């Protein structure tokens, strides 16, 4: 069976329009990353849940697995907030937490779980993990929402808009840094098929 990979990626990419900043804390160390695999997980309005898929390559993955806490932030597209949104995206998406603290470069407050809340984000939901699903190269985390807030009302930033405004040199560095993550994901998939 042959899969039209381009068609599959176009369909699936259309389901991930919003870049999401994910933060957590474990053992007193705060960290975060950017994800395009996040969303709502409950149809019960008074019992909201959020979900995020994190690759096992990332330090944030291990920290969420250990602490059972994650905060999912949407970014703002409002012109006066756009620079702050792009700063969050470049800070959390541009380097590994294994290379040092990223969160200290951003404006934060402490959430009810102890995890950092990004003050320049559009909004957030703070969660406690209630279930996980191992999917070879990633883990899908489902969290019960314990706090939520709209910090900066207005339109939310879409990935296409964000990518079009990021500096070319940052995109080039991101793509270089992304190679080991892709290699790790392929290795997990290969090992699972062996």
Average pLDDT over residues 57-78: 97
Q: For residue 1, what pLDDT is reported?
A: 73
pLDDT confidence bin for 54, thresholds 50/70/90: very high
Sequence-separated (6 or more) residues with CB below 8 Å from residue 111:
71, 117, 124, 126, 147
CB environment 110-120: b (16+ within 10 A), e (fewer) = ebebebbbbeb
Split at pLDDT 50, 70, 90, the class of 3 is: confident
pLDDT of residue 163: 92
What's residue 193's pLDDT? 78
Q: Is pLDDT at 190 greater than 90 in this prediction?
A: no
Of 30-39, 68-77, 129-138, 185-194, where does mean pLDDT reach its minimum?
185-194
């Amino acid at each position: 069976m042959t899969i039209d990979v381009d068609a599959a990626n176009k369909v699936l990419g259309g389901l991930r329009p919003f870049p999401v900043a994910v933060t957590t804390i474990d053992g007193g160390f705060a960290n975060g990353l950017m994800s395009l695999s996040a969303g709502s997980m409950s149809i019960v309005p008074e019992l909201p849940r959020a979900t995020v898929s994190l690759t096992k390559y990332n330090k944030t993955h291990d920290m969420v697995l250990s602490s059972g806490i994650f905060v999912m932030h949407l970014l703002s597209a409002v012109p006066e907030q756009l620079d702050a949104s792009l700063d969050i995206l470049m800070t959390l998406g541009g380097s590994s937490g294994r290379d040092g603290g990223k969160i200290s470069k951003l404006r934060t407050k402490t959430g009810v779980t102890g995890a950092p809340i990004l003050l320049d984000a559009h909004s957030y939901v703070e969660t406690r993990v209630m279930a996980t699903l191992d999917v070879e190269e990633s883990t899908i985390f489902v969290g019960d929402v314990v706090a939520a807030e709209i910090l900066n009302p207005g339109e939310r930033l879409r990935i296409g808009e964000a990518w079009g405004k990021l500096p070319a040199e940052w995109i080039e560095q991101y793509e270089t840094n992304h190679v080991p993550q892709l290699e790790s994901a392929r290795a997990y998939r290969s090992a699972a098929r062996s």
